[in-house]
């Protein structure tokens, strides 16, 4: 499946029974620069096309170098998947942005299961500054003929 000019690789074997279905995961997108809103909307569109639910897009003042956060052990797989999707999309837009994966289980014990947060760093003028040079084309794909990830438990 091609999504807005890029392709997303999903590891089917990694989705185990103790993990929430993709459509049960709630993704919150955080960004720091109002000029990045269009980019954040595109990230949300890509995630929603791949069956993730984007619950909110929040303009925040807290600084971030860019990360994806999860709050419960079963949500790690979804967080890694979301991280890969967002990094690949950002790669296709402006050369790339590496996001850290942050395990927040000990800090926020009352967070709801299925919560994944993406913190997109400020990009300056609404375009990502190249933080890495991709050595291969950015690709996001879903294998044709496979069931939607939310059907695999």
Q: Give DSSP secondary structure letters for 72-84.
A: SGGGHHHHHHHHH
* pLDDT bucket at 21, cuts 50 / 70 / 90: confident
Nearest Cα to Cα of residue 88 among 60, 52, 47, 32: 47
Residue 111 pLDDT > 70: yes
* pLDDT bucket at 95, cuts 50 / 70 / 90: low
Query: What are the tokens at 33?
Result: 């620069």
pLDDT for the residue numbered 124 = 62
| Average pLDDT over all residues of the chain | 75
Helix residue ranges per DSSP H, the chain: 37-49, 76-94
* pLDDT bucket at 42, cuts 50 / 70 / 90: very high
Which pTM does this prediction carry? 0.72
Cβ atoms of residues 33 and 60 within 8 Å: no
130 vs 60 pLDDT, higher one: 60
């Amino acid at each position: 499946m091609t999504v807005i000019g890029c392709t997303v690789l999903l590891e089917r074997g990694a989705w185990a029974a103790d993990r929430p279905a993709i459509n049960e995961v709630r993704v919150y997108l955080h960004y720091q620069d109002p000029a990045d809103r269009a980019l954040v909307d595109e990230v949300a569109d890509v995630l929603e096309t791949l069956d993730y639910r984007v619950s909110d897009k929040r303009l925040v003042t807290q600084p971030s170098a860019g990360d994806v956060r999860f709050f419960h052990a079963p949500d790690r797989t979804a967080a890694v998947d979301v991280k890969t999707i967002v990094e690949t999309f950002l790669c296709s837009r402006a050369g790339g942005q590496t996001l850290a994966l942050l395990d927040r289980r000990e800090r926020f014990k009352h967070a709801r299961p299925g919560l994944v947060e993406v913190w997109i760093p400020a990009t300056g003028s609404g375009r990502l500054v190249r933080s890495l040079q991709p050595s291969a084309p950015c690709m996001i794909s879903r294998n044709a003929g496979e069931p939607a990830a939310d059907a695999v438990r």
